[in-house]
Amino acid sequence: MRPMFDFTSSDGIGFFNRRIKDTQLIQISWILPTASIIIATLIHYFSGNYRDIPFFISETDHPGLEDHVFSIGLFLSSLTQIIVSFRLYILFKPIASPKLHLFALLCGLATSTHLAVLAFATMDQYLEIHIYTAMVVFHGGFAWAFATHFSLPKSKSKGRKVRVYSLLLAFTSLLVMTVSIRDGIKSGEKELGVHSSEIGLEYLQPWVDYAAPAEYLLFFGLIGCLASFRWDVKEHASKGQDTPIES
């Protein structure tokens, strides 16, 4: 009798006598959050609910239809990415650098679990929790992609090339976003004489003009990293190695 859930098989994951191949799982893992963020952003913009332009991704978690798209989409994405983190760890464990690969798994699990919290911790109601989880998601997501990339043997796969460019985009965007908001907060603390938690986005908007587009580019950079592993899985499977890989 086959188990109800199977995450260690050679051809993807199994649940209730159904099976999803690893390449399909990876596609779901990047298409779902991409569609969720794009749709939530479009609804937020065309409904006129935006505070200013440009705005942060998290600002689309605004009461209304975009709130449901944002929260449900990211929560489901977090569950999918937990599974992807496990699957990539299992698939490439025989050929990966052990310590770095394990570190990548831990980063993937931390990122995914914090994304689940972020999906429902709105900026308006839970600002401190939202900021903390967002930082873990972005930095942890980058650390997961970076560690997984360098834990694998060098190859000429298309996935590795796509991932290099995606990592560069993500790192540059993360740097621009972090520095912009840091400078805005420092200016606010000095000019307004208040704690950083009391500085509103209205004041920070001149810095948000740079940080918000950078956040979207960071998001797409991480999505590129996630999507790129589909080629690595296919290449590894084509070698016919005697490892737990899909056929």
Alpha helix (H) ranges present in the chain? 22-46, 65-92, 98-118, 127-151, 158-192, 201-238
pLDDT per residue over 22-63, tens digit each? 889 999 999 999 999 999 999 999 999 999 999 999 999 888
Q: Which of 77, 97, 200 is nearest to 137 (CA)?
A: 77
CA-angle at 98, arms to 96 and 100, nearest 5°: 90
From the CA atom positions of the chain, what is the Rg in Å? 19
- Please indicate, yes or no, if residue 245 is contained in any of the structural domains: no
Residues of the chain with pLDDT under 50: 1, 241-247
- Please indicate, yes or no, if residue 198 is contained in any of the structural domains: yes
Structural domain including 185 reads 5-238
- Please indicate, yes or no, if residue 247 is contained in any of the structural domains: no
Q: What is the H or E stretch that residue 6 is in?
A: strand 5-9
Task: Please tell me the pTM assigned to this model.
Answer: 0.89
The pLDDT assigned to 244 comes to: 42
The total domain count for the chain is 1
The pLDDT assigned to 240 comes to: 56
- Please indicate, yes or no, if residue 170 is contained in any of the structural domains: yes
Q: Quote the tokens at residue 62.
A: 């605004």
CA-angle at 200, arms to 174 and 196, nearest 5°: 70
- Please indicate, yes or no, if residue 246 is contained in any of the structural domains: no
